[in-house]
Chains A and B, each alone.
Chain A
Amino acid sequence: MLALLSSGVWAVDYEKEIKPLLKERCYACHGALKQKAGLRLDTATAMRKGGDGGDILAKDHSMLLDRVTTTDKDDRMPPEGEGSLLTAVQVAKLQEWVATGALAPAQEKPEDDPRAHWAYQRPKSSGHSMDELLAARLGAKNLKPQSEAAPELWLRRVYLDLSGLPPTPAQIHVFLQDTSAPARLRVVDHLLSTPQYGERWARHFMDIWRYCDWYGLGAQLRHSQKHLWHWRDWIVESLNADKGYDQMIVQMLAADELAPEDRDNLRATGFLARSYYLFNRTTWLDETLEHTCRAFLGLTMQCVKCHDHKYDPIEQTDYYRMRAIFEPLHVRLDPWEGESDFEKNGLPRVFDLHLDQPTYRHVRGDEKNEDKSKPMPPGVPRVLEFASYEPKVVNLPPASSHPVLLPFVLKDHLDAADQQLAQAQKAGNADDVKLAGLRRAMIQVVHAADLALGDKAIAQAAALAEALYLAAKAENDLAQTEAAPKAKDADKKIKTAREAVEKARKKLAAPGDAYTSLTASLKAQEGPEDKGNDKVQSYPKTSTGRRLELARWIADKRNPLTARVLVNHVWARHFGVPLVADVGDFGRRALVPLHQDVLDSLTTGFMENGWSMKWLHRTLVMSDLYRRSSSNAGVDPQTLATDPDNLFLWRMNPRRMESQLVRDSLLHLSGRLDLTLGGPSLDPAKAETSPRRSLYFIQNADVEHRFLAVFDNSNVLECYLRNESVVPQQALALTNSRISRDCADALAVSMAKLDTTAFIDDSFLAILGRLPLEAERKASLEGFRALNGDRSLFLLALINHNDFVTLR
């Protein structure tokens, strides 16, 4: 074989066979990113110049060949742990190339400086609209844009895109009276002003930001936090208020440092509370770091945990400097006004707990192997450090470090005691009435002691009040136990109750000044061994300010990534295909996008317009592109032949409804959809027939809504873009489920008075948002007859039409 090769029959092509191999296997350490041993392999000239050991392509003794063939573990390339050895064929190619003189093009260009990567440069506007830019590119390529889609299809697109619900036949009729641009803008503005807009887009961001209700093993909370739905409601409300995206980022990462008393916006930190993990702090922080970077910056950090980035100019130390930003972070529930029981409600929020906890680099990402020689200071990746990272310590107001000082805490505790009192009075139980009264008194004194922190006299009063209450409670319990001598283990229980009374009496005799504070917060466990977490009621008086500084750096107009990444996400959800292919990776593997000018013009416009999402939606859906047909029919053949995949955007891309849209649309069509906003998450198993919108169901790794699951529901672990699979289970769900049938039945009732032709037309209009073509009308009539004129079954068939689940 070697003889064959060297005979020149299979001449080696450097550009096609050698360079891609070196790029794939060697450039990460010997290219523009890094030059280990002073060596670069990205041009033949660089290889001739060699590194510390000189020319590596010498014909008589090529070090390149030596290193890729040696069996010496210390010398082999790629080194152990950096991937497998080259294959025999690859080595033979290299040998052949060296033996024939290592030919390469004369003006070979070295790899670009990694810092010059397009996405690391600030976007500049071209001064043109997206339509002008796209039209110019189509013209230059001699591609002809597709004609406009029928206005009713455009209408269905904007309704589903902006509110997540299809237009009703009445809304279609009104629109068809006037389909001018101003009329379209009125429709768009109206949709953006409805609360359903916030729900629709909150669901998109819940995907990207990994919304996940708490779960664990049985009652044990292992992931996320209880009542995380407060964060979901904050997302919906923020979108509806068109809060700037930059502000949203700052609030999600650092609302507790930005405005500690702004309780509404503390909900935003659910973004960080979501990654809470009971068993492993490193896993928790890894996820926090990785997904913060991917969601907001399009930076992939997971590989930097163990080693310097293979593609991007990001080093392992950057990872641990970022970890240091989150190192003090912890999670707790603050009270929610009107409820003193944390099982029932509470505000999941983050705060800095261990202010001085050092961060060490984990050698090769091994958490058991910390490099303690050098604590890592907090910081952002150097390559993107356009301003120095200088966190300032935040002094917290008293109620932030002592939640018991929140104005409603006393009232909510007293209300709970009053309820107990009212119940006892109603039951006519004098002992219970007395007990509830004592509880009420205790709450007041204890609260006073909590406020007068350190005042010994009040503390003694609190201790006494508590002792009185506990003694009475113990007596009460004993009386109850003794009243049921035949209960299971009665003897044992009575004995225990007597001992409790003894103890309580002793305490009452000498109450001292130690008392139990009112429960006004619930600190999350720091690992399963942390049993005293519910006793902790006071927290540090300062916060490190590290997250606030990070958030401001992310949400800074000078950050070249943040707004671009957002625009790309929103674009992908309006046009089906993102401008930058991997929405979560804007690193060097992301080639310069074909439509970079469009992306950058939109990005600068977005920032100039106060990071307004509504501005962005309006701009995108009012574009020429958004009006175009998604069909290949009637297109210029040359255009189809040149660009069959529509890379140049000569037509619109059809899209499939996300799972939530399928379900919500069915409910909407049947007139059953309940438009109530917000509130606790619903258990899908218990609320199978609930008419609420789909974003309100519990979503975590344990619970799954069986209908939503079929249509590629979001994966709570990671979902930067939904899948659009086509599987037979979807057909089964739409033909056989109760929810489809109910929708068909309800529509049939509403159309009962129509004659057959009008019925068929209206069915199309309601379900597909358009009237049937003549051939479709004919086929429908025949099909309707074959169904013996069963209107429900006909409507059910239309629900299964591909255009129902498709945004045409």
Chain B
Amino acid sequence: MTPRLPPTPFLRRDILGGLGSIAVASMLRAEETWRPPDGLPMIPQRAKRVIWLFMRGGVSHMESFDPKPMVTKYAGKSIGETPYKDVQNPEKLKKVRVVVVNDANGQQRNVIYPLQTGFKRYGDCGVEISDWFPHIGSCADEIAFIRSMWTTDDNHGAQVQFHSGRHMLEPRVPTLGAWVTYGLGSMTDNLPSFINMGPRFFDVRDGHYLGPAYDAVNLKVDPKNSLTYAAPEFQIGRSQQEAQFDLIHRLNALNAEQYPGDKTLAARMKSYQLAYNMQTAVPETMNLEAESEETKKLYGMDDKVTEPFARQLIVARRLAERGVRFIQLQHGDGAAGAWDSHSGLKKNHSSLAQQVDKPISGLLKDLKQRGMLDDTLVVFATEFGRTPGTQGSDGRDHHPFGFSVWMAGGGIKGGTIHGSTDELGFHAVEHPHYVTDVHATILHQLGLDPHRLEIPGRKRLERDFGKVIPQILA
């Protein structure tokens, strides 16, 4: 199967990392002793990998993981008529940075819109979750809910902000997945270590000044067409290709005698080994035939509605098993993202929630039964919440002042309810967290200190590093 390539020492950084990466190398000053990270944890490591589930468009926090009975109580009234009118104090609204001035969306909505679904308590922790997410509810005691997120972009550029920590009007910087793979390198010889599945729109790069080697590799769950150039675009037999890779390797090895100590050549030889392996490893990962019926059912593969996301999540688990470091999933089509329910929120959210709820709970349960939840960090996030006020007759607008995300596994304390918004779900009031606090917490669990990931000449702001959220750690 594998061509007869003599083993080369695994050059962790050289393959997917910084070798010859001029963007990084050019920052080096001759007299400074700075070196890129060595790929080893800097502090005790609690999680080895991340499965990042991003709901594009903005999930209503109050109709998911932060139900607010007061919006039902005051439904139809303007915010100014409620006891909570101070939420609209202009001072409190200042943190927003508008990109699209006077856009139809991203406005204050005054008339309160009632909750569009019920909610109940789940698990020993008794967390209130809306009726649209019963399966995730059933995993409540594995999850730490953060109900006090805030961000500054009131439009969908907030997707970039959630991944990178920077507002759309600021320069692009590496995303979390790029930092993680830059800091820790790869755990596999067969697959790239940073993978994205699902649609992206506002910024399709991750590495930025770390270099394109840290961009996520886009995979599709279709086993026949999962990765660009992964399969020959012409007829060639397996044995022929094997002979070809063999010849490439022999010629490059002879070349190495002419160019002793050429690290780029060594890395290229290694990359051919990885490429060869990827041609089988990628379709093999995408092929779910070996999965038991029980497992498939657990994720909801047996139901048309849940099947697409269920398939992605089983693939995500398989990628995790095969050593991929950062698996980034984007849910929701369209430029803005499907969750963007300016109108018809009830229909929109109930249907989208149905698509993801069972698959996500399946993932958590499956990881747990395989003993992988201990060192796999699962993150559920979205770019912002939605307004307590109504937009049009039956929608909610973008809401950056307060929203919810959650994390599970990887040393996270399950059954934790952390932070809160006010009674209308307007502002994050208790333990407010900017998006980089989530990044800091993830990096901490992975054993990385973001300050030590700095690159000379690319000074980061204190806010870019974020602060670890200690209350949700086991």
Q: Do A and B come from one complex?
A: yes
Give chain A's interface residues, CB within 8 Å of chain B.
81, 83-84, 217-218, 279-280, 282-283, 302-303, 527-529, 578, 581-583, 585, 589-591, 594, 630-633, 644, 647, 654, 656, 701, 704, 706, 709-710, 712-713, 715, 717-718, 720-733, 735-738, 741, 773, 775-776, 779-780, 782-783, 786-788, 790, 793-794, 796-798, 800-803, 806
Among B39-47, B264-272, B412-420, the one that faces the other chain is B264-272
A736 & B233 in contact (Cβ 8 Å cutoff): yes
Q: Size band of the B side of the interface?
A: 35 or more
Among A527, A578, A783, the residue within 8 A (CB) of B247 is A783
Among A585, A631, A725, A775, the residue within 8 A (CB) of B254 is A775
Chain B, residues 168-204, CB within 8 Å of chain A (1/0): the string is 0101100000000000000000001000000000011
B14 CB–A CB distance under 8 Å:
yes
Q: How far is the CB of B465 from chain A (nearest CB, A)?
A: 9
Q: How far is the CA of A728 from the CA of B28 in the complex (A)?
A: 26
User: Inside 8 A of A788's CB, which chain B residues have their CB?
Assistant: 240
Say whether, besides A591-B30, A717-B171, A797-B248, A735 and B260 are in contact (CB < 8 Å).
Answer: no
User: Inside 8 A of B234's CB, which chain A residues have their CB?
Assistant: 738, 741
Among B28, B208, B229, B232, the residue within 8 A (CB) of A710 is B229
Among B27, B233, B268, the residue within 8 A (CB) of A726 is B268
With A729-B229, A737-B229, A779-B247 already in contact, 13 other A-B pairs whose C-beta atoms are closer than 8 Å: A590-B29, A594-B30, A631-B262, A632-B262, A715-B205, A717-B171, A727-B271, A729-B275, A735-B241, A786-B246, A787-B247, A802-B252, A802-B255
Among A84, A647, A730, A783, the residue within 8 A (CB) of B243 is A783
User: Inside 8 A of A84's CB, which chain B residues have their CB?
Assistant: 462
Q: What are 30 contact pairs spanning A and B, CB under 8 A?
A: A81-B462, A582-B457, A591-B29, A631-B258, A656-B20, A712-B212, A717-B172, A718-B209, A720-B26, A723-B20, A723-B21, A724-B21, A726-B15, A728-B275, A728-B278, A731-B268, A731-B275, A731-B276, A732-B230, A736-B232, A736-B233, A737-B233, A738-B234, A741-B232, A773-B254, A776-B254, A779-B250, A779-B254, A780-B251, A786-B246
Among A632, A736, A797, the residue within 8 A (CB) of B260 is A632
Q: How far is the CB of A643 from chain B (nearest CB, A)?
A: 12
Chain A residue nearest in CB terms to B214: A725
Q: How far is the CA of A717 from the CA of B229 in the complex (A)?
A: 26
User: Inside 8 A of B212's CB, which chain A residues have their CB?
Assistant: 709, 712-713, 715, 723, 725
Q: How far is the CA of A704 from the CA of B204 in the complex (A)?
A: 10
Among A583, A717, A801, the residue within 8 A (CB) of B251 is A801
Among B103, B236, B255, B462, the residue within 8 A (CB) of A793 is B236
User: Inside 8 A of A529's CB, which chain B residues have their CB?
Assistant: 101-102
Chain A residue nearest in CB terms to B156: A217
Q: How far is the CB of B166 from chain A (nearest CB, A)?
A: 12
User: Inside 8 A of A715's CB, which chain B residues have their CB?
Assistant: 205, 208, 212
Q: How far is the CB of B275 from chain A (nearest CB, A)?
A: 3
User: Inside 8 A of A723's CB, which chain B residues have their CB?
Assistant: 20-23, 211-213
User: Inside 8 A of A729's CB, which chain B residues have their CB?
Assistant: 192, 217, 227-229, 275
Q: How far is the CB of A34 from chain B (nearest CB, A)?
A: 17
User: Inside 8 A of B348's CB, which chain A residues have their CB?
Assistant: none
Q: How far is the CA of A654 from the CA of B247 in the complex (A)?
A: 23
Chain A residue nearest in CB terms to B265: A802
B248 & A279 in contact (Cβ 8 Å cutoff): no
User: Inside 8 A of A728's CB, which chain B residues have their CB?
Assistant: 15, 192, 271-272, 274-275, 278
Tell me the number of A-to-B contacts counted with CB atoms below 8 Å. Answer: 216
Q: How far is the CA of A802 from the CA of B268 in the complex (A)?
A: 7
B16 & A779 in contact (Cβ 8 Å cutoff): no
Per CB-CB distance, the 5 closest pairs between chain A and chain B, nearest first, are A783-B247, A731-B275, A725-B213, A728-B275, A728-B274
User: Inside 8 A of B244's CB, which chain A residues have their CB?
Assistant: 735, 787, 793, 796-797, 800
User: Inside 8 A of B276's CB, which chain A residues have their CB?
Assistant: 731
Q: How far is the CA of A779 from the CA of B257 in the complex (A)?
A: 14
Chain B residue nearest in CB terms to A799: B248
Q: How far is the CA of A780 from the CA of B276 in the complex (A)?
A: 20
Q: How far is the CA of A710 from the CA of B259 in the complex (A)?
A: 25
User: Inside 8 A of B468's CB, which chain A residues have their CB?
Assistant: none
B459 CB–A CB distance under 8 Å:
yes
Among A279, A631, A720, the residue within 8 A (CB) of B100 is A279
Q: How far is the CA of A15 from the CA of B193 in the complex (A)?
A: 41
B231 & A736 in contact (Cβ 8 Å cutoff): yes
Chain A residue nearest in CB terms to B22: A721
B261 CB–A CB distance under 8 Å:
yes
Q: How far is the CB of A312 from chain B (nearest CB, A)?
A: 13
A633 & B259 in contact (Cβ 8 Å cutoff): yes
B288 CB–A CB distance under 8 Å:
no
B26 & A656 in contact (Cβ 8 Å cutoff): no
> Interface centre among A632, A720, A736, A787, by most B CB within 10 Å?
A736
Q: How far is the CB of A301 from chain B (nearest CB, A)?
A: 12
B251 & A797 in contact (Cβ 8 Å cutoff): yes
B293 CB–A CB distance under 8 Å:
no
B250 & A783 in contact (Cβ 8 Å cutoff): yes
Among A583, A709, A717, A738, the residue within 8 A (CB) of B233 is A738
User: Inside 8 A of B23's CB, which chain A residues have their CB?
Assistant: 721, 723
A581 & B30 in contact (Cβ 8 Å cutoff): yes
Chain B residue nearest in CB terms to A805: B268
Within 8 A of A (CB), among B26-67: 26-31
Say whether, besides A585-B457, A630-B259, A735-B275, A793 and B240 are in contact (CB < 8 Å).
Answer: yes
Q: How far is the CB of B226 from chain A (nearest CB, A)?
A: 12
Chain B residue nearest in CB terms to A790: B240
Q: How far is the CA of A773 from the CA of B192 in the complex (A)?
A: 35
Chain B residue nearest in CB terms to A786: B243
User: Inside 8 A of A737's CB, which chain B residues have their CB?
Assistant: 229, 233
User: Inside 8 A of A801's CB, which chain B residues have their CB?
Assistant: 248, 251-252, 255
Q: How far is the CA of A788 from the CA of B241 in the complex (A)?
A: 12
Q: How far is the CA of A806 from the CA of B263 in the complex (A)?
A: 13
User: Inside 8 A of B217's CB, which chain A residues have their CB?
Assistant: 729
Q: How far is the CA of A743 from the CA of B148 in the complex (A)?
A: 57
User: Inside 8 A of B204's CB, which chain A residues have their CB?
Assistant: 701, 704
B354 CB–A CB distance under 8 Å:
no
Chain A residue nearest in CB terms to B192: A728
User: Inside 8 A of B255's CB, which chain A residues have their CB?
Assistant: 801-803
User: Inside 8 A of B19's CB, which chain A residues have their CB?
Assistant: 725-726
Chain B residue nearest in CB terms to A702: B204
B267 & A632 in contact (Cβ 8 Å cutoff): no
User: Inside 8 A of B243's CB, which chain A residues have their CB?
Assistant: 783, 786-787, 793
User: Inside 8 A of A787's CB, which chain B residues have their CB?
Assistant: 240, 243-244, 247
Q: How far is the CA of A802 from the CA of B265 in the complex (A)?
A: 7
B229 & A726 in contact (Cβ 8 Å cutoff): no
Chain A residue nearest in CB terms to B170: A283
Q: How far is the CA of A279 from the CA of B403 in the complex (A)?
A: 26
